[in-house]
A and B are shown apart, each in its own frame.
Chain A
Amino acid sequence: MSPIQTMRTPMRRVRGLGTARSGTGQFWHQRITSVAGIPLTIGLLLIITALLGRSHAAVVQILGSPLVAITVLLFIINTAYHMWIGMQEIILDYIHEEKWKLLSLIANTFFVFVVSLASIYAILKLSFGV
């Protein structure tokens, strides 16, 4: 059977598998998070500008207020997913050696989880004052 007749790629025949059937999933998610990122980025910049030069007590009070805290939380969660996909794309484009590729992909996931969860924890602590 030739590949042309079956529409099967040689790689598929070698592996005995089809595609993962999720090829456009991250492409689409990157677009969704970029659309959401526009108002959230503007919101974050406004919040930071409003907090410039204020005392620690004032910053804590404003960052902990619901509307501000929710905006910052949404920004962090949305950005975390967006930057995870983006860095993965950069790694897959430039790092071809299997060992370093795998280590970089793992490091990407660890970095995104640690940075975003630490930021989320800080905002929640400011909000609930625990």
Chain B
Amino acid sequence: MTELEAGASTGAQRTRPLSPHLQIYKPMLTMMMSIVHRITGGALYFGMLLLAWWLIAAAAGPNAYANVEWFMGSLIGQLVLFGYTWALLHHMLGGIRHLVWDTIHGFEPAERELLTLATLIGSITLTLILWVVGYLVMGGPR
């Protein structure tokens, strides 16, 4: 109570940010990638529905599987799958970065910037490589 009273006598007129949050700070790469890690995690959560659909359809039979193949092959399906691939790889690399940080390494300004940039570039590069390989596999003999 004494704290509140002291605050009332000195700083009642000023509106002070009691709990600085995102909008206070200049956007930085480490901060953006922290948010992206959570967003990709949330997206992957619902992405598990796609994996479940694929597995259930395979178990259900050729007709159900044909439906999945039709959707995954459509433009929207391909976009969703591409986003899913990137989110998965980005969340994995971001997770590795967090595991490195858990060991109390890589916290110097240059190090953490490098780790964060490597996560972003790595996830985009791996996604593109995987999709090129995927299309080559699709084009190959089956």
Chain A residues within 8 Å of B, Cβ to Cβ? 31, 34-35, 37-38, 41, 45, 49-50, 52-60, 63, 72, 76, 79-80, 83, 86-87, 90, 115-116, 118-119, 121-123, 125-126
Whether the Cβ atoms of B88 and A119 lie closer than 8 Å is no
A8 to B49, CA, bound (A): 45
B137 interface neighbour in A50, A59, A116, Cβ under 8 Å: A50
Taking CB atoms, residues of chain B closer than 8 Å to A83 are 41, 44-45, 48
Taking the closest CB of chain A, its distance from the CB of B98, in whole angstroms, is: 7
Whether the Cβ atoms of B59 and A31 lie closer than 8 Å is no
Q: Can you list the 8 inter-chain pairs with the closest CB atoms, starting with the nearest? A: A122-B55, A122-B59, A53-B138, A125-B59, A56-B62, A56-B65, A119-B52, A122-B56
Whether the Cβ atoms of A37 and B59 lie closer than 8 Å is no
Taking CB atoms, residues of chain B closer than 8 Å to A34 are 95, 98-99
Number of residue pairs across A and B with beta carbons under 8 Å? 83
Whether the Cβ atoms of B52 and A41 lie closer than 8 Å is no
> Which residues B59-102 have CB closer than 8 A to chain A?
59, 61-62, 65-66, 85, 88, 92, 95-96, 98-99, 102
Whether the Cβ atoms of A118 and B99 lie closer than 8 Å is no
A52 to B139, CA, bound (A): 10
Taking the closest CB of chain B, its distance from the CB of A23, in whole angstroms, is: 16
The contact string, 1 if C-beta is below 8 Å from chain A, for chain B 123-135, is 0000000100110
Most-contacted residue by chain B among A72, A115, A122 (CB, 10 A): A122
29 A-B pairs within 8 Å (CB atoms) are namely A37-B95, A38-B96, A45-B85, A49-B133, A52-B134, A53-B138, A55-B142, A56-B61, A56-B62, A60-B59, A72-B55, A80-B48, A83-B44, A83-B45, A83-B48, A86-B45, A87-B42, A87-B45, A90-B38, A115-B48, A115-B49, A116-B48, A118-B56, A119-B51, A119-B56, A121-B59, A122-B59, A123-B59, A126-B59
